[in-house]
Amino acid sequence: MSINQSGWRPESPQTGVEASADTFTGNRALMLEEPLIFEMDERGGTGVDFAEAPKVSSRLGSLERNRDIDLPGLSEPQTVRHYTRLSRQNYAIDLGLFPLGSCTMKHNPRLNERMARLPGFADIHPLQPVDTVQGALKLIADLGEWLIKLTGMHSVAMSPKAGAHGELCGLLAIRSALEARGDKREVVLVPESAHGTNPATAAFAGYRVENIPATERGRVDLAALKARLGPDVAAVMITNPNTCGLFEPDMIEISKAVHEAGALVYCDGANFNAIVGRVRPGDLGIDAMHINLHKTFSTPHGGGGPGSGPVVFSEALTPFAPLPFVEKQGDHYALIEEETAEEHHGRTFGRMTAFHGQMGMFTRALSYILSHGADGLRQVAEDAVLNANYVLRALEDVLDAPFGKSGPCMHEALFSDKGFEGGLSTLDLAKALIDEGFHPMTMYFPLVVHGAMLIEPTETESKAALDQFIGAIRNVAERAKAGDPSLKAAPVHAPRRRLDETLAARKPVLVYKEPEQAQAAE
Ligand SMILES: *Cc1c(COP(=O)(O)O)cnc(C)c1O
């Protein structure tokens, strides 16, 4: 793309996508067309004035830069506007409903942000002497205490930095426990409906992954699981509520069978939002479970902030849990960074991170927990389930709900594109939702349902917001069932139309090349 006197040309040779041919500038109302910063470059321009550096002889040798640094030359207002325009192209939970199933995109209360910015929490350093950060350590200990109570477990590792990182933490503790009893087991069983991180984690921890089939009702096939258990199985990873949005009612029996076979139970707790305050995973025989603070406890995620995935452990696994941990000793909070008594962390597998975890997220999550209280957290789960069932029942006459007949769902409603005509599919419905101003739902996951659409409204949406969303989906679904070919063209109102998403994922262009270079490379 090149600059001409009057503005940007309305199409971009970079993407080959037509932007907006119907305005002179390429802008769409106040949604301004934005090129890459390199394409705006006015060589030689600069937003800052530096004094000429004194001449010194260079000692960089062969490391000396021998060509221009190639930063775009723009003034400060040009640069500020560029990034402000880009920021307006984000879709965010603060803009509208974000129905991504399995992601729990709930509102992030501003009170949490206020607390996280208190200088006593925001401005401390992980290497500060512990006497100077007693308040922060107390906060970590208090949050850990809540997580242990809410899950009915024995101990907690606060340091893992995301759900997937927590899965790895749990499996490493399980592996250490098995090795400590001289038991080398090689297989981890994972249900077909599991999130992709589960098999990836098991493989990363050195295990062979085998699938357990699902029943027609979207639950783990208990008989198939029992039949597969044996002396080579180290652990079973189960998500509960599962990724079909359903509670696994056989969980106690599953745990019993797994333990009798000498293996351990890992629970993927990403969906804890649906049961917090109602069910304690510890009562279901679970040995380790991660909690996504960025899902259940409302800390920002999806580009808005880092994750945090504390892991709770059963008594049997506690000696193997990672360091460090915070311990209250009288009036003092100690940060334990070395192996201690046998039954505590005496056989720890090591560390997950250099320091203590995501302090900013701990502050936000504890602020969320304290502002809700125990009764408020129970209501979070109840309202999340109520909202999902409202969506399920409001759409099941226009969208196929594969498990809708078998009763209520938990926190998310699962649909499929069965019954769409004219070659239309889940993707077309999702793209048409963009035109209606909604971020699409999770698509094509879980894999056990063909053309899956997984909708998780969360408890923070009002009935009015849900009704508007339901109205939009009903409209698009009816067009899809009538085979309306115009859906194939959606989105038509977005700054970009349909992109080649496969190409973008397989061959991402991460480094800017001048158009001549890009052409030469082809
Ligand atoms: C989100 C999620 C994960 C992974 O959590 P991250 O924090 O994104 O690493 C794992 N399992 C399920 C079911 C999830 O929804």
Which residue ranges make up each domain of the chain? Answer: 110-367, 381-506
Contact between 73 and 42 (Cβ < 8 Å):
yes
| pLDDT tens by residue, 67-89 | 887 788 898 899 999 999 998 88
In the predicted structure, residue 14 carries a pLDDT above the cut 70? no
- Ligand 1 pocket test, pick from 104, 159, 195, 454 with the greatest ligand atom count within 8 Å of Cβ, gives 195
Q: Measure 290 CA to ligand 1 centroid, in angstroms.
A: 9
Q: Measure 238 CA to ligand 1 centroid, in angstroms.
A: 12
Contact between 239 and 198 (Cβ < 8 Å):
yes
CATH homologous superfamily of 381-506 equals Aspartate Aminotransferase, domain 1 (3.90.1150.10)
pLDDT band at 348 (very low <50, low <70, confident <90, very high): very high
- Ligand 1 pocket test, pick from 102, 168, 197 with the greatest ligand atom count within 8 Å of Cβ, gives 197
pLDDT given for residue 4 in this prediction: 37
Helix, strand, coil abundance in the chain, percent, nearest 5: 35, 15, 50
Contact between 480 and 418 (Cβ < 8 Å):
no
Q: Measure 183 CA to ligand 1 centroid, in angstroms.
A: 29
Atom 8 of ligand 1, residue of closest alpha carbon: 163
Atom 6 of ligand 1, residue of closest alpha carbon: 163
Contact between 456 and 411 (Cβ < 8 Å):
yes
Atom 14 of ligand 1, residue of closest alpha carbon: 270
pLDDT band at 45 (very low <50, low <70, confident <90, very high): confident
Q: Which two tokens stand for residue 504?
A: 């973008």
Q: Measure 298 CA to ligand 1 centroid, in angstroms.
A: 14
How many whole angstroms from its chain centre is CA 404? 26
Q: Measure 171 CA to ligand 1 centroid, in angstroms.
A: 15
What is the chain's Cα-based Rg?
26
* Per-chain mean pLDDT for the chain: 92
Tell me which architecture the domain covering 110-367 has in CATH. 3-Layer(aba) Sandwich (3.40)
Q: How far apart, in whole angstroms, are the C-alpha atoms of residue 518 and residue 520? A: 5
In the predicted structure, residue 340 carries a pLDDT above the cut 90? no
In the predicted structure, residue 208 carries a pLDDT above the cut 80? yes
- What are the residues whose beta carbons fall under 8 Å from the beta carbon of 190, sequence distance 6 or more? 198, 199, 202, 209, 210, 211, 212, 236, 237
In the predicted structure, residue 269 carries a pLDDT above the cut 90? yes
> With helix as H, strand as E and coil as C, how does 33-88 read?
CCCCCCCCCCCCCCCCCCCCCCCCCCCCHHHCCCCCCCCCCCCHHHHHHHHHHHHH
In this prediction the pTM is 0.90
Mean pLDDT of 445-451: 94
Mean pLDDT of 345-367: 94
Mean pLDDT of 272-283: 98
pLDDT given for residue 12 in this prediction: 42
Q: Where is 363: in which H helix or E strand? A: helix 359-395
Q: How far apart, in whole angstroms, are the C-alpha atoms of residue 386 and residue 390? A: 6
Q: How far apart, in whole angstroms, are the C-alpha atoms of residue 430 and residue 399? A: 13
pLDDT band at 121 (very low <50, low <70, confident <90, very high): very high
State the CB neighbour count (10 A cutoff) for residue 517.
10
pLDDT band at 9 (very low <50, low <70, confident <90, very high): very low
pLDDT given for residue 343 in this prediction: 60
Atom 3 of ligand 1, residue of closest alpha carbon: 163
Atom 15 of ligand 1, residue of closest alpha carbon: 102
- What are the residues whose beta carbons fall under 8 Å from the beta carbon of 142, sequence distance 6 or more? 366
Residues touching ligand 1 (Cβ under 6 Å) are 102, 162-164, 195, 197, 239, 243, 268, 270, 292, 307, 309
Range of lowest pLDDT (155-169, 180-194, 336-350, 365-379):
336-350
Q: Measure 310 CA to ligand 1 centroid, in angstroms.
A: 12
pLDDT given for residue 472 in this prediction: 98
Contact between 312 and 156 (Cβ < 8 Å):
yes
In the predicted structure, residue 6 carries a pLDDT above the cut 50? no
